Structure 1
């Protein structure tokens, strides 16, 4: 543990020595559930908003980028005139390692773990002319409530992505989030999210 703390401190010190960039961003998501207990899942659109802090590790092309994002995940099921949509809202914290290439217009790849904390959600359904909805909560089910419950409020995943930095003014990021933990104790159901965001890099340190 002491070695891990020392390495983290050295990485942060290196980042602050060579300048950092705050990246506020906003974008769209396409999400669905996967797993052995899921059939015919379809992508559900949503959105995400948040910010990252890019910290160069020395003078090379490698940097560390922790983020904090509000993100919508979930799934949609359709069959005939029946539609069932689940929207799950999370506060997500990825920690990415980024490798950047090129001059002028730059390209990068990034990857790293993430942990997301469930905030709640909404289930909406339609069957013919009938419609309904219910709130989604995380945790143990309340038998006296009409809400829907998802047992696991913490969602651990792996994020893989790439992007382009245009003239140091705009960042376009395409990323896939692969869920590693199930949403339920006794079912194989995981979140998967494709997200496309646009960010504005704001320098906060000298080089």
Structure 2
């Protein structure tokens, strides 16, 4: 039983040393968790709107203050993106893949490891309260996820109400690398910050020209609104 306690003690000592380093060297380390509302911007106008999907994000942040109120922020987070669509049509796939009529549903789940590089600025509002602004680029790499299409799917000369599932990323799915821009505003209350941010993917992560259901041919770009709570160590 000693090894788990040693590991816990080592972790606590490491966090305490990092926090001390952050305070003395203009660095700040924090933890962040929150909710995502994501969607995929698709090029085909035949695909219906209403693609919002709820998800989560969690990770660590690292900030370096260039001046008293000006800072650079990076870190690493695990974040969920994707889209959800439903309706009684073929959802833009065409009658040769999905038969219109009954309820059809598409759910695309994307899990990313994401690394931002933001320039931020703080505006004091009181002795312990600040308005925090940030903006800059991010890069993300797709770790996994599933994309599912449920409906009257056509298999050759047979129609079956079933679910077709494929890995979101891979040879028959979306491209793993995503690059985009993010911006946000937050309210810092002591060591805690409540923030609202928006991300727009700039890179087309769409599948190969030979798109395979449940993926569309054409352009895919990530869009995301996030509500987060951060705690400075």
TM-score by length of 2: 0.70
| 8 Å Cα contact 1:67-1:93 kept in structure 2 | yes
User: Separation in 2 of the partners of 1:136 and 1:22?
Assistant: 34
Residue number in structure 1 paired with 2:32:
25
Q: Which runs of 5+ in 2 are unaligned?
A: 1-21, 89-102, 153-160, 210-217
Bigger RCO of structures 1 and 2 (CA < 8 A, at least 6 apart): 1
User: Separation in 2 of the partners of 1:135 and 1:116?
Assistant: 21
Give the paired residue count.
178
Report whether the alignment pairs 1:68 with 2:90: no
1:108 to 132, 135, 155: 132
User: Separation in 2 of the partners of 1:158 and 1:79?
Assistant: 31
User: Separation in 2 of the partners of 1:85 and 1:137?
Assistant: 10
Report whether the alignment pairs 1:169 with 2:176: no
User: Separation in 2 of the partners of 1:27 and 1:179?
Assistant: 19
Greater Cα radius of gyration, structure 1 or 2: 2
Residue number in structure 2 paired with 1:77:
85
Cα offsets for 1:22-48 (capped at 9, x unmatched): 111111101101142263241000111
- Given the superposition, is the C-alpha separation of residues 105 and 120 from structure 1 closer, same or farther in structure 2, using an over 3 Å criterion? same
Cα offsets for 1:161-185 (capped at 9, x unmatched): 110111x221111110100001125
User: Separation in 2 of the partners of 1:79 and 1:137?
Assistant: 21
Q: Which runs of 5+ in 1 are unaligned?
A: 1-14, 142-148, 203-207
| 8 Å Cα contact 1:54-1:66 kept in structure 2 | yes
1:158 to 181, 194, 206: 181
Going by fraction, where is strand more abundant, 1 or 2?
1
* Bigger mean CA offset, 110-119 vs 79-88: 79-88
Residue number in structure 2 paired with 1:51:
60
